[in-house]
Chain A
Amino acid sequence: MSLHEWMLDGTLGLLVLILAVAVLHVRSLYISIVLFIAFGLLLALIWARLGAPDLALAEAAIGAGLTGTLLLAAYGRVSERRRKAEEPLDWHAGPALLLSLIIAVILMRAVWPLPDLDSALVPAVADQMAQSGVGHPVTAVLLSFRAWDTLLELLVLLLAFMAVRQLLPSLPRQPEAWPLLQAWSRLLAPLSVLIGGYLLWRGSADPGGAFQAGALLAAGAILLRLTGLLPALGWHHFWIRALILGGCMVFLAIGVAGYWLGTGFLGYADGWAGPLILLIEVFATLSIATTLTLLVIGETREVRE
Chain B
Amino acid sequence: MTQVLFYLILGVCLWALGLYGLLRLKESIRRIISVNIMGSGVFMVMVALAARSEDPDPVMHALVVTGLVVAISATAFALRLSVADVQEDDQ
Contacts and interface: CB of A to CB of B under 8 A. Distances in A.
| A–B interface present (Cβ within 8 A) | yes
Nearest to A117: B52
Given A103-B19, A137-B58, A171-B87, A118 B80 contact: no
A121 B59 contact: yes
Interface in B16-42: 16-21, 23-27, 29-30, 33-34, 36-37, 40
Contacts of A114: 4-5, 8, 49, 52
Given A81-B90, A160-B77, A13 B10 contact: yes
A81 B47 CA distance: 40
Contacts of B3: 1, 5, 9
Interface residues of A, number: 92
A52 B14 contact: no
A159 interface: yes
A175 B79 CA distance: 20
A36 B39 CA distance: 13
Contacts of A157: 69, 73
Given A24-B37, A67-B75, A159-B73, A9 B6 contact: yes
A118 B49 CA distance: 9
A122 B53 contact: yes
A100 interface: yes
Q: Which of B51, B55, B58 neighbours the largest number of chain A CB atoms within 10 Å of its CB?
A: B58
B77 A43 contact: no
B54 to A, nearest CB: 9
Given A118-B53, A142-B66, A157-B73, A55 B61 contact: yes
A180 interface: no
Nearest to B60: A119
A164 interface: yes
A70 interface: yes
A20 B83 contact: no
Contacts of B84: 167-168, 170
A62 B82 contact: no
Closest 6 pairs (CB-CB, A-B): A137-B58, A160-B73, A104-B16, A141-B62, A100-B20, A74-B79
13 contacts: A24-B25, A29-B29, A74-B80, A82-B27, A119-B57, A141-B61, A142-B62, A145-B59, A156-B69, A160-B76, A163-B77, A170-B84, A295-B73
Interface of A: 1, 5, 9, 13, 16-17, 20-21, 23-24, 29, 32-33, 36, 39-40, 43, 46-47, 50-52, 54-55, 58-59, 62-63, 66-67, 70-71, 73-75, 77-79, 81-82, 85, 87, 90, 92-93, 96-97, 99-101, 103-104, 107-108, 111-112, 114-115, 117-119, 121-122, 125-126, 137-138, 140-142, 145-146, 149-150, 153, 156-157, 159-161, 163-164, 167-168, 170-171, 209, 211, 288, 292, 295-296
